[in-house]
Structures are given as C-alpha cells and as structure tokens.
Amino acid sequence: MGTKKNDPQNWRAATRLVRGGTERSHFDETSEALFMTSGYVYSSPEEAEQAFKGNKDRFVYSRYANPTIAMFEKRLALLEGAQYCNATASGMAAVFAALACMLKAGDRIVASRALFGSCHYIITELLPSYGIEGVLVDGTDLDQWGEALSQPANAVFIETPSNPTLEIIDIQAVSDLAHEAGARVVVDNVFATPVLQSPLKLGADIVTYSSTKHIDGQGRAMGGAILSNDEEFANEKLKPFLRNTGPSASPFNAWLQLKGLETLDLRVSKMSSNALYVAQFLEGLNGIQRVIYPGLASHPQFKLAARQMKSGSTLIAFEVPGGRDGAFRFLNGVDIIDISNNLGDSKSLITHPATTTHQRLGEEERARMGISDGLIRLSVGLEDPDDLRKTWKGQYSPFNEWGKDHFQ
C-alpha cells in the first residue's frame, strides 16, 4: 500500500476504471487479490473489543465489509463520481435495500410505470404490504409527475432507459419535482451503465446497478451496487440496513466485476456502436413495424436521450407482425444471437418480454407499458455487427421461412 503520487480524483474515467480502488497486499501482486474469507483474526481480545467498539478501522466480518468487495466499491464510486458505494448480492438486492432502508409505513413512493418486472413487484405489491403507498405514472409525461408530486412523497424511483420499451425519463426535471415534494430520487441505471449516463450529476440522489449486466459483461456472476453522495442516507439508513439484513456481495463475484470494470468503457462503447448499426439496419427493413432505439432520430425522446446519455445504449426493441407467433418465428429463425433474458453481455441476446421478463404483469398492464405480443428486445454484444446483420439476411433468416411477404 505505497503512497499514491496521483490522487484518483484527478484521473480521467479510463484510468479510474483500470486503477481506481486498487489496494495491494504485502505480496505486491499486480492483479487485485481475491480475499475469499468470511472472517478476520485479531492479535488479542483487546483488539477484537476495540474493533467491535468501532475504535479501530479494520475488517471484522464479510457481511459488513471485505477487502476485495471494497476495491470493487471504490472503483465503481470513482467512475460514478459518488462518495458512497455498497455492493450487494444482486441488482434486485440493491433496489430493494435502497428503498426499504428509507421508507416506513405511511410513506409514499412515486415511480415510472415502465419498470423491470421485479422492481414493479416491489413497488406495487411488496412495499404496499408494509403500508407504503406506491403510485405509478407515465415516466415520460412531466404533467403526471407534477400531479403525483403535488402531494408530499418520500421516494421517487425511475428506470431510464426503461426495460424493455427504452423510454427516456428526464432525470433533472423529475429530480427537481421530487425534491420539492420532499422525496429522494433513486435511478436504476442498468440500461445506461455508468459509462453512458451519470444520474447524480443530473440531480438524482441514489443510483442502483445490477452489476450482473454490463459491469460483469460476460454473463458470469450476479451482483449489484448502491451509490450516492447523501451522507445521511448512506451512513444512517443504508449501512445499518445492509449490515443487519445481509444482502452482501460474494467476494468472488465482486472480484470478477472489479476486473469487469477495467474493460467496461471499451465494451459499452463498442456494444453501443454495434447497436446503432443494427438498429439502423432494422429500421430500413420492410415489415419491421417499429424500431425503438434511443440513438435513432425516430425515437420519441431522441433529443432528451442525446442530452442525458453519451450514446443510445446497447439495447434495441422492435416489433414484428403476427403477435406472439410472429415473434416466436422470428426468435426461432435467428442465428448467432442467443435466446436469453439476460442483457449487457458480450454475446448478443434476444428475448420476447411478453412471455418472459414481463409475463407476470398480465395483458392489461403490459398494454399500458407498451409491451405488445410482437415486441422483441435485443441486447447487442461484441460480435462483428455485419455477422449480426446476416442473421436477418442470410440463409437462416426468419424472412426465408415466413417473411417473404412482409420483408424486403
């Protein structure tokens, strides 16, 4: 742990991603060490007593903190420009902890309707069962936010771009309305990643990640994180909640994702440019009913996306004719791309939200969220985009089987 010549705060993002948070052990290893340990030893009972009194800054138990997890948290915090970061076992553990640690019976949370299925469950079923009122609004409609936040609220939860319809929410405008109503703003930033969007700089208070997605980026390990610059939230609410309820990250998973951060910028930048290429190609195909990609000028919130994101993201949604059957034929016809509900992977993955991730919601709520039976979500990976394009044009193309009438 030699003294640093450089303060990481002065480093640019790429340097932070490779070197931020590194703490070498006395073995002077190059690559960050994996501390696969649940406990720590003390030289004397006196030392243990002092550690438990909080008088000695050291590791005591990996439910509280662990050196490998701490490196991951520091590196991610540096990237996000956040003072506080806590890693969790999964993205859902992060979302739930961020909300549960600050809400109590009688409180009110306002959220955008277009949500990841499990976030929807927490806000519309779980929190209400604890006596917390959950209100859903159309996230793209500032009038609806204004009306819902004309009454006091304690939390606002948004996902932008949303899953799977890629709606964009104005983080700054919603944060201003939320703060007037007395609410803290939590942004689920999974689709944008910390590389493309910085919610804390746009007025949000708390950011959550599923690091299972782009941060791991190679489909290996579950993980999540909660970041903020809000000392009261981080130290008085979140810290005791995490310590005592235990949704801790695994050191092994944190180590994989610490190393994942080193290539995050490269991967997300390339995956985004591949996604733009594929989205432009899909938009030019006859028969595709609608292509939704925040980096296309045809996206209803293209200008807002360009203002708050560095690119259109790595995800595309599009609609094919023929409802569920049409979508299934399409998925059965793709080559290279794997059918999987995961996303943010270096492998391109395709899924049918209405029968998988958003099946539980029921037809009516799906319709309200714009998830039609013909909607398909594509997470674009690191393959050569021309090979992905051939998926649609080559000999295995779904168009050959059924789409000659519909497609070019």
Closest distance of CB 207 from ligand PLP, Å: 12
Closest distance of CB 253 from ligand PLP, Å: 10
Which residues are CB-neighbours of 319 under 8 A, at least 6 positions away? Answer: 288, 289, 290, 372, 374, 375, 376
CA atoms within 13 A on the CB side of 321: 12
- The candidate with the shortest Cα–Cα distance to 187, out of 215, 155, 216, is 155
Other C-beta atoms lying within 10 Å of the C-beta of residue 172: 14
| Residues paired with 84 in a beta bridge | 228
Residue 205 or 216 having the CB closest to ligand PLP: 216
Return the residues of window 163-182 that contact ligand PLP according to CB under 6 A: 163
Binding range to ligand PLP, per CB under 6 A, among 39-47, 187-195, 199-207, 385-393: 187-195
Residue 188 or 373 having the CB closest to ligand PLP: 188
Closest distance of CB 222 from ligand PLP, Å: 5
Q: Give the residue, chosen from 222, 261, 271, 361, that forms a contact with ligand PLP under the rule CB under 6 A.
A: 222
For the chain, the distance separating the N- and C-terminal CA atoms, rounded to the nearest angstrom, is 62
Residue 98 or 177 having the CB closest to ligand PLP: 98
Residue 181 or 225 having the CB closest to ligand PLP: 225
Closest distance of CB 313 from ligand PLP, Å: 11
Binding range to ligand PLP, per CB under 6 A, among 69-77, 184-192, 301-309, 392-400: 184-192
Other C-beta atoms lying within 10 Å of the C-beta of residue 165: 18
Instruction: Report if residue 250 touches ligand PLP, rule: CB under 6 A.
Output: no
Contact between residue 380 and residue 275 where contact means Cβ atoms under 8 Å apart: yes
Starting from the edge strand earliest in sequence, which strands make up the sheet with 375-379, in order? 290-292, 315-319, 375-379, 349-351, 338-339
Instruction: Report if residue 221 touches ligand PLP, rule: CB under 6 A.
Output: no
Name the 3-class secondary structure at 242: helix
| Residues paired with 180 in a beta bridge | none
Pairing relationship of beta strands 315-319 and 375-379 according to DSSP bridges: antiparallel
Instruction: Report if residue 361 touches ligand PLP, rule: CB under 6 A.
Output: no
Instruction: Report if residue 160 touches ligand PLP, rule: CB under 6 A.
Output: no
Please give the sequence-ordered ranges of beta strands (E in DSSP) within 138-237, or none if there are none.
155-159, 184-188, 206-210, 224-228
Q: Which two three-digit tokens encode residue 93?
A: 């553990």
Instruction: Report if residue 210 touches ligand PLP, rule: CB under 6 A.
Output: yes
Closest distance of CB 29 from ligand PLP, Å: 29
Return the residues of window 57-96 that contact ligand PLP according to CB under 6 A: 90-92, 95
Closest distance of CB 190 from ligand PLP, Å: 4
Binding site for ligand PLP (CB under 6 A): 90-92, 95, 116, 119, 159, 163, 188, 190-191, 210, 212-213, 222, 224
